[in-house]
Structure 1
Amino acid sequence: MTSVPKRSLLTSINVTFLGTASAQPSSTRNHSALALRLNRDVWIFDCGEATQHQLQKSAVKMGRIEKIFITHTHGDHIFGLAPLLASCMNGAGGIVAEGQDQEQKNEDPRVAVDQNIPALEIYGPLGTRAYVRAALAYTYTLLGRPYVVHELRFPSDPTENDEPAGVARLLAESAHGRNIQMKDGVWPDIYKDGVVSVSAAPILHSVPCVGYVVNEAPVPGKIDPSKYIPAIKRTKTPMSVMRQLQAGEKVVLNDGTELQGPPRRQGRKLVILGDTYDPSPITHLAMDADLLIHEATNAHLPGIDKDTKEQDTHESVETRTKSRGHSTPQMAGAFAKNIGAKSLVLNHFSARYPGDTAPESLKIMNAIGQLAEREFGKPVTCAADLYSFEVGSSE
């Protein structure tokens, strides 16, 4: 999908973890959710229960959300989606009168859908559209802004433009949701503008699951003014041509001399994975990532985690973790090394691993990070809820 870019340049890419728990939340970890800020715009990746509460605790502005990407439809990754839509899209409870048909039930004089506002885009696997529609319809939730659901279809999924059974399309739901088919095993450029693009690929879990790759378009190269300014001044060419040179363009000076700006350099690449015991199908899309976000649900921590079973080994924990569709820190570190990632951040931790700053908690998370580092060969960060950081330049 291509649209007119609203951003001429990404001056800031920020990642904020809104939830880092696996399966069950704890007092220190919320269900899975992540906010990606591109300048001021916000994209959400997964939306577990109480994501809207986490947003209110963070510096992320709910009103700036323009896209939501769901990796899979397990509840701990999607149960917060309908409440979030209601909060950020002027939602209200509807009125149901006896004898009304479905279209009338979806109308309420208190809420009118403003069709002049761009639709909030939701991407996810088959079932995302039906889930959102049913959650809103059966709670009589009315939205004041349109939304659209695009589904990433696996080869075994229906290919036709089918509609979820049992619930009519709501007034706020755009009819232009796409069913995106795979091409050569991936979903290339499911979104693209002049500044950033998103591609996706299946990753192996216990249910259909998706990993997303966010690519910044090539950015202007670093310019050395001393190479250009003397010639510009000598020929009395306006200094405004420096802007063109910075953009990598060719400039003809007043005396006919040609100056070529520095070549563009590769933009930043972020790989955001859902739950997985094997992300290898996304490998070629993920190569040379500036940032990999990978789950690390379980770890073997003898002498550190008091709940470690005496009979367990690293191998037995890995076998059990993979059987449930998940990864260990070592598996995450090995994949990060395999794709040549520049940095690795772990998330999606079992509830047994607290996310607070108590000394014992930090000791456990440090040990988990070290397990990944042994495979990756570089420092690894273990995310906690509301952990936020800027993704630096690709150079």
Structure 2
Amino acid sequence: MTMDLTFLGTGSAYPSPHRGASAMVLRTEGECWLFDCGEGTQTQLMKSQLRSSRITNVFISHLHGDHLFGLPGLLCTVSLNLNPSPVQPPTCVNIYGPRGLRQFLRVALQLTSSQLVFPYAVHELESTTDQCPPEGHLSPEVTADSGCLHSQELPGRTIALDVSSDCYVLLEDKRFVVKAFRLFHRVPSFGFSVQEHDRPGRLKTELLKELGLKPGPLYGRLKAGESVTLETGQVVNPIEVLEKATPGRKVCVLGDCSSLLGEGPLGACHRADVLVHEATLSDEHRDKAVDHGHSTPSMAAAVALACSARSLVLYHFSQRYKPAGQHKEGDEDDVSELRRQAEEALQGTDIKVSLAEDFLTIPIPLARPH
């Protein structure tokens, strides 16, 4: 199963001619999962090789406009370009994010009389009081659920923090477990961990033949982890006839933050194949970055090191940092300096550092079996 991550917007605060606002897509098995949706994301999608109609899950890290303003427009454009089949009803788009997201989207769609041809559901995460300064929390009057659903809206869940793991379990199926965890920012912010399940190893077919087991349904049961009993009465356990499992991949995307909260982030991001972390300003501007709830390259590197991540991708750059191809001699702010600072902080480790640019696609290959 192929998996890759495409950045649609890598700038902070607002879209510019050089960088789009925050948005990225994790693509796997024909599905597209969108992380944040800043203003102009739908245009960026049109310029990419991705298909917006394949978006099935959306994850919004926090309610600042440069991570959210593009969502109502994107949903409307996807709807306009869809031709639903009467035989196969359209898939529900599940949207995850902080409390207040449901009301924001509902009001935006209702006030503009926007109709969708597919259902959607908003699942809200309950933040904690320590995720931001007191003034960053929205009042209950603003986030209160009006109870008047949009015509295509399905009831969503309200997801509380699981105290035992210090995370929010968003979804779990046969392929993935997706969790959210708490970050500190000027408003409640979250990070997301997408963990692929390990793949069972290949069957040792020669050994199975020696045991007198022919290809058929019993092979499938062993592959699925079930023990089988032969006609002789011998019990064959999967561990005896399966090669080593292929480890599942893990991709972690952190929203805007100046620090992690609790033990959840480190646990959820442990041994991440790809850790995406903001680096809004360079290390020289650390005080300013922290004052605004943001991080620098060395701060992002510290998180990657604490998580034992395999690779660190920096993004969410101040618009002062132009993409490498547009940087001119004499320009004061060089985006490559951000990578150098992170690499310096990770010197002596095997963690690879890269800079995200709009339309950069990072393939995420399967790891070798343990």
What TM-score does the superposition give when structure 2 sets the normalisation length?
0.83
Partner of 1:269: 250
Shift of 1:381: 0.5
Partner of 1:54: 44
Cα distance in 2 for partners of 1:320, 1:195 equals 41
Matches within 5 A, 1:136-147: 136-147=109-120
Partner of 1:389: 362
Measured against aligned partners, the alpha-carbon deviations of 1:338-361 in whole angstroms (never above 9, x if no partner) come to: 110011111000101112524649
For the Cα contact (< 8 Å) 2:14–2:39, is it kept in 1? no
The partner residue of 1:197 within 171, 177, 183 is 177
Which structure: larger Rg? 1
Cα distance in 2 for partners of 1:91, 1:357 equals 34
Cα distance in 2 for partners of 1:27, 1:49 equals 13
Residues 82 and 234 of structure 1: is their aligned pair in 2 closer, same or farther, counting only changes over 3 Å?
same
- Identical columns (%): 34
Query: Which ranges of structure 2 fall in alignment gaps of 5 or more residues?
Result: 130-137
Partner of 2:68: 78
Matched, 1:149 2:122: yes
Cα distance in 2 for partners of 1:234, 1:180 equals 51
The partner residue of 1:286 within 257, 269, 281 is 269
Cα distance in 2 for partners of 1:130, 1:207 equals 17
2:257 aligned counterpart, secondary structure: coil
For the Cα contact (< 8 Å) 2:250–2:274, is it kept in 1? yes
For the Cα contact (< 8 Å) 1:36–1:42, is it kept in 2? yes
Partner of 1:107: none
What TM-score does the superposition give when structure 1 sets the normalisation length?
0.78
2:18 aligned counterpart, secondary structure: coil
Two-structure CA RMSD over aligned residues (Å): 3.1
Partner of 1:164: 145
Residues 286 and 158 of structure 1: is their aligned pair in 2 closer, same or farther, counting only changes over 3 Å?
farther
Partner of 1:335: 303
For the Cα contact (< 8 Å) 1:250–1:260, is it kept in 2? no
Cα distance in 2 for partners of 1:336, 1:137 equals 42
Shift of 1:335: 0.8
The partner residue of 1:130 within 88, 99, 103 is 103
Cα distance in 2 for partners of 1:205, 1:213 equals 18
For the Cα contact (< 8 Å) 2:324–2:335, is it kept in 1? no
Partner of 1:19: 9
Query: Which ranges of structure 1 fall in alignment gaps of 5 or more residues?
Result: 1-10, 93-110, 301-313
The letter for the 1-side match of 2:341 is L
The partner residue of 2:281 within 298, 316, 319 is 298
Partner of 1:177: 156
Shift of 1:38: 1.7
For the Cα contact (< 8 Å) 1:237–1:254, is it kept in 2? no
